[in-house]
Structures are given as C-alpha cells and as structure tokens.
Amino acid sequence: MIGFLIGFCILGVGFVGARLEYVNRSPVFLFYLAICVLFSFPTFEAMIGPSEFPEWVYVDASFFALLYLICFVVTRYIVVSGWGLASIWSGLFEALRDWGAPKNSWIIPACLLASILFFLTGLGIYSVNAAFSINWWDLVHSGSPLVLLATYTAYSASCLLILVHLWRKDFPRAFYISAGLSVFFLVFSVFVLKTRSYALMLLVPYFYFVLCGKGKSGFVGLLFLSVGTAFVFVLTRAVRHAEDLNQFLSFGLSYFWGDAASGVETDFVKAFYFFVYKGDAFVGFGENITLQRVLLFWLPSFGDWVKPPDFSYVMHSAYYGSALEDSLSMHPTVFGDAFGNAGYVGALTYSTLLALYFSGVEYLVKASRSYLLKLSAFSLMCVCALIFARGAIYNAFMFSLLPLILVAAAIIFASLFGRLRLR
C-alpha cells in the first residue's frame, strides 16, 4: 500500500515537472515521459503481479525515485526562473516559423554524410556482402576511432528531419537530398548498425517538434510518427537479435519479433530493485564512478588508473556476474545509476547535477546568436533526455556535449570562411 502511494506521488511530481517543461517547450519534458515508461509503469506492474523482491524493496526504490524527482524539479524551477531560461525554446520555435531554416544549415546534412562515410570506413564495409555480414558486436567492439567519430558526427545531425520539414516548400532540392539521406541513414542504422539510438536520434527531435504544435502536421501525423518511432525501436532490436542481416532475412521478422518486443527497456529496472535489495555490497558501488568519468571526460581511457571503467560495466558485473573486461553494459534507469554511484545520497547529488547540466546547456543556448546552434542543442537534448532517463549518464553527457561542440566549431569555421571569401 505504501509503495502505491509513493508511486502515485512520483507520477504527481513528474506531472508537475513535465508541465513546467512543456509550457516552456523544453526538451526536458521527454525526460519525465521516459521516467514514466522506464520506471513508474514497470514498478506498478511489479507490485501488482508476482513479486520477485520483498515489498520493502519496492517501497525503498520508489522513495529514492520520489526524492530524486523532487530535487530535480525544485532545482530546475529555481535555476530556470533565476537564469531567465523560460522562453528560450519558445523563441526558437517562433524564429523557425517566421524565418525558416537557420543560416548555414547545410552543415547538418554534411555531418550525417560524413558520419556514414566514417562508419563504412571504420567498420570495413566496402561491399553489400560486408554490410549483410556485420553484427552488432562488430560495431560495439570495433575499437576504431573512426566509428567513435562517426557516432559524434551522427548526433551532430540530430536536427536534420526538422530541417527537412522546414525546407519542404522553399528549398525543394535541399528537401529531397536531405530527406533521402535521412531515410538511408535510418535504414543503415536499423539493418546494418542495428543500433536504436542512431534511429531515435533523428526521429525523437522531430516527434517533439510536432508535439509542440509547430510542425502543423496534425493529430494524424503525430500518431503516425509515434507508432512509426515505436516500430523502428522494436524492429532494430529484432534485427540485433539475429546473428547478422543474412540470418534475419532467412528467418524473417516474426521469428525475432517476440523476443524483441517483450520487456524492451523495462526489464532493466529490476536491476535497480536488486541493488536496493543488496545495498552497495558490490565492488565499485558507492564510489561515484559516473561522476569521476564525467569530470575526466576530456581524458582518453588509457587504463583504469587514469579514468575508471564505465559504471554500466560495473553494474552489469554486479547483476549478471560478468567480468569487467567483457565490457558488457546495462542501464537500470537514472535512479539505479544514482543509487549505485552514491547510495541514498545520490538522490540529492545526481538529481541536482543533472538539473544543472540541462540548465547549463539552456543558458548557452540563450547566450548564442546562432539559431542553427540553438536548434542543434534542442535536438540533442531531446534524444539525450531519453538516454539520461535510461541511466546511460556518461553516454548521454558525451552525446550531447561533443556533438554540440562540433556543430559550434563548424558554424564558426563556415562564418570565417564566408568572410574570407567575400574579401
């Protein structure tokens, strides 16, 4: 009974926070949406159905989540109000509506094209047969710096579908080229890279763009896009379950669909319950490894003595018993990551730091005069809000910060080149 009361309190606090963000058209709204899907609904289901853990585990986990969300909402409200960040996204939407695509928007499709070339070269895909034979592990364990660079340049292009929408009337050539490039990358992400985040990277920002009412696509378009996004998410997971694309085509979608659709991301919250049940009785827990890695993001990972291993590896080892050297990761929601890093104190510290990070990005957006940079920040925050909620904190930090730096550098270079050429 107590667990249900706390669960409804979480939904209430989440609703308040989500409404504050949505009124401002902030991408942080998607963070709350993801929390409902990844934590609230599975927790209610676990408390109603056969219990794998004692009731106190769900109560403690829910109380931790409630404390985290309260700190997050309060911090966001104070900082957004104090820094004057409430209207920055509404201003962006008004500028896009009045002026269309921002200056130097060609940078975005160029980034996506460069990303595709980097992926093909880094993974050694020089033929159709190679594309059919590659599997997800080849991508994860490629060890190629080109693959890493391809990831960051791909995320730099996360606003491309929004630009396609803006180009559809006045710039037909840019529209058709960028739309074709987007479709190719989506197919490439699903069937070759087999990675959902690359597909969602393009779809989610456009989904929120439509949801905010500025895309003028109507309810039918929004519904179609929502269903399509969910389908792409599960389809990518189904393709990944096959050894390679050859096996997937041989057995068919129906063979892999059941496993891909069951549980999806919601099963990982069970690891959070497990950590609450066991406490911090695992090697690496309570050491703020995620915070250390974020602070040392500018250092390459030469070894554990320079930068600790990704905390997702530590959690996978604790939950499944794998070796850290296997580099297997798991993400038991943003709450599980905070609890594993700092125990119950993590509900206060990690929520505050995340709220400050979101607000810091928005402050930079407010200070910037480039609407292309603002649009890129909007799109990156959309997709990374989901990654943060999932519990992949370090990944979300890197996928939002470095691509934004790449876009900013490209805008500066394009501006300088334009001035030099005019002279």
The predicted pLDDT at position 260 comes to 47
C-alpha closest to that of 158 among 413, 416, 387: 387
For CA atoms 186, 189, 191, 196, give the dihedral sign: negative
Burial class (CB in 10 A: 0-12, 13-18, 19+), 242: buried
Bigger pLDDT: 139 vs 355: 355
pLDDT more than 70, % of the chain:
84
CB of 413 within 8 A of CB of 110?
A: no
CB of 90 within 8 A of CB of 27?
A: no
Phi, psi torsion values for 3, nearest 5 degrees:
-60, -40
User: Taking 80 as the threshold, does the pLDDT of residue 251 lie above it?
Assistant: no
pLDDT tens, residue by residue, 73-122: 999 999 999 999 988 998 888 888 878 888 889 999 999 999 999 999 99
Residues ≥6 apart with Cβ < 8 Å to 129: none
Task: Give the other-Cβ count within 10 Å of 321's Cβ.
Answer: 7
Residues ≥6 apart with Cβ < 8 Å to 417: none
Residues ≥6 apart with Cβ < 8 Å to 308: 284, 287, 289, 292, 293
**69: helix, coil or strand?**
helix
C-alpha closest to that of 348 among 81, 79, 64: 64
pTM score above 0.85 = yes
* Calpha distance 227→219 (Å, rounded): 12
pLDDT band at 259 (very low <50, low <70, confident <90, very high): low
User: Radius of gyration (Cα) for the chain, nearest Å?
Assistant: 21
Task: Give the other-Cβ count within 10 Å of 249's Cβ.
Answer: 13
Per-residue pLDDT, averaged over 248-262, amounts to 51
pLDDT tens, residue by residue, 142-194: 778 999 999 999 999 999 999 999 998 888 899 999 999 999 999 898 888 88
pLDDT tens, residue by residue, 325-366: 777 888 999 999 999 999 999 999 999 999 999 999 999 999
* Calpha distance 274→249 (Å, rounded): 37
The predicted pLDDT at position 42 comes to 87
C-alpha closest to that of 332 among 65, 13, 21: 65
Most confident among 187-196, 244-253, 299-308, 332-341 (mean pLDDT): 332-341
C-alpha closest to that of 348 among 58, 62, 71: 71
